[in-house]
Every structure is written in C-alpha cells, then in structure tokens.
Amino acid sequence: MSPMPFFDPIRFGIEITYTIIAVCLFFLIYFRTKEMYTLTEYKGIMFFRGAFLFFALAYLLRLFLISSRLYSSSPTFFIRDFFPLSLIFVSYFSTLGIILLIFSITWKYIKSAHLVLYGHLISLLLTIIIILTNSSEILTYIQVGLLIIATIFGIIFNKKTDRSKKSTQTRMLYFLLLLSWLLNIWMLTPGWFFPSEVKSLFQVLSLVVFGAIYYKVSKWLK
C-alpha cells in the first residue's frame, strides 16, 4: 500500500469529534421534537425537523468524504472509491436540509401542497449536476446560491410580518447554520487557503451555533 501523504491523525481526530458533536445535536433536535409533531402534525415543525435530520446525515456523510480524500493517493485502498458516492449523498442531504429550512419559514406564504416533493426534485437536480462534475467546489457554489436565496427570503418575510426580536435572532442562527455548512464544504476543496488552526476555530464557532439552536429548542420541550 502506498503511503498516505496528507494523513494527519490530529486533524482527523478533530474532524471525528466535530462530526459526532454536530450529528448528536442535530439528531437530538430531530428526535426531541417528534412528540410536538405527532401531536400537531404542523407543517412548519415537519420542515424544521426534516432540515435537521438531513443536516445530520449530511455531516455524517461528510466524514466519509474526508476519509476518502485522505486515502485518495492509495491505489488499493477501497475507501478512495467512496469519494464520488459520498459526494452524491452529501450533496443530496445537505441541499435538502437547506431547502427544508427555507420552507420551514416560508411555507405559510407559498400555497402549495407539494413542497416536500419540490424539495426532493431540486435536490435531485443539483445532485445530478454534482454527479456530472464530481466536484465539491461546484457543490459549494450551488449552495452559496441557496444561502443567498435563503437570506433574501429571510429579509423579505421578516419585513412582511411583524416579527419579534427573538425570531430575528433565530433567523440569524439559521444564517450562521447554513454558513457553517458552506465553510465545512469549502474546507474540503482545494480552494481553502486558511491554515488548519483557522479551520478548527470555525468548527468551534459552528458548534456554538448548533448548541445555541439546540438550547433554544430544548427550552420549549417540557
């Protein structure tokens, strides 16, 4: 087996720890809001829960993506073959997570009964683009576009309705959640030019954002 020149055990350990914490927080949000949804079958809660479920899956698959990158120079190691497959699932789950988060705040203004279907179709379309290009950079560009759309929707619907200071803070957390994801994907591309310490700092800050969202959720779970 050829050597793995870019393998950094400390960096990989940090990635595993980061992923475990992030995925646990997202799954906790998903499972702990289950009763609320079962009782009400409220669409907004369904989109909200779905967003965190797919973010959890995306972060989990991102770890496979990192693993396959680490072993990419090995001619025999089978993990390198996971790269295209991991990228497909990461693209699909993360795009769907972003779209469901957008729908969770806009569904009341979009009069359609097929939003979930549209979410899957848009995610599928973007995933096909990723399959054709096999590039995590393209995924970053597409999702930056989605972040811009989400921000515009956030501003438009915030002005349209008289929202409280609390919900404005929540929208800021949503923005940071999406930004964290994009930074995490950008870190995997050759275009990432910051040192490893900056990468770790971004990850710590993103965990603070995830923790803040979980704290806000848990306040209402009695």
Partner 1 sequence: MTKKRDRLEVIFDILSIISQNNNSIKPTPLLRQSNLSSSSFSEYHKELISKNLIKELYDKKGKKFVTLTDQGFNYVSKYKYIKGFISEFDL
For position 105 contacting partner 1 by CB under 8 A, the verdict is: yes
For position 41 contacting partner 1 by CB under 8 A, the verdict is: yes
Half-sphere exposure of 133 (CA within 13 A, CB side): 15
Q: Which of 62, 69, 171, 199 binds partner 1 (CB under 8 A)?
A: 171
Q: Which of 40, 112, 134, 135 binds partner 1 (CB under 8 A)?
A: 40
Long-range (24+ apart) CB contacts under 8 A made by 53-56 are: 53/26, 53/27, 53/97, 54/93, 54/94, 54/96, 54/97, 54/100, 55/26, 55/93, 55/94, 55/97, 55/177, 55/181, 56/22, 56/23, 56/26, 56/27, 56/30
Residue pair 22/202 in contact (Cβ under 8 Å)? The answer is no
Rounded least distance, CB 222 to partner 1, Å: 5
- Interface stretch with partner 1, choices 11-19, 40-48, 144-152, 201-209 (CB under 8 A): 40-48
For position 216 contacting partner 1 by CB under 8 A, the verdict is: yes
Q: Which of 44, 176, 207, 212 binds partner 1 (CB under 8 A)?
A: 44
For position 104 contacting partner 1 by CB under 8 A, the verdict is: yes
Rounded least distance, CB 50 to partner 1, Å: 12
The DSSP output letter for 187 is T
- Interface stretch with partner 1, choices 32-40, 111-119, 175-183, 192-200 (CB under 8 A): 32-40
For position 147 contacting partner 1 by CB under 8 A, the verdict is: no
Residue pair 61/93 in contact (Cβ under 8 Å)? The answer is yes
- Interface stretch with partner 1, choices 13-21, 30-38, 54-62, 85-93 (CB under 8 A): 30-38
Q: Which residues bind partner 1 (CB under 8 A)?
A: 33, 35-36, 39-42, 44-45, 47-48, 104-105, 163-164, 166-167, 170-171, 216-217, 219-222
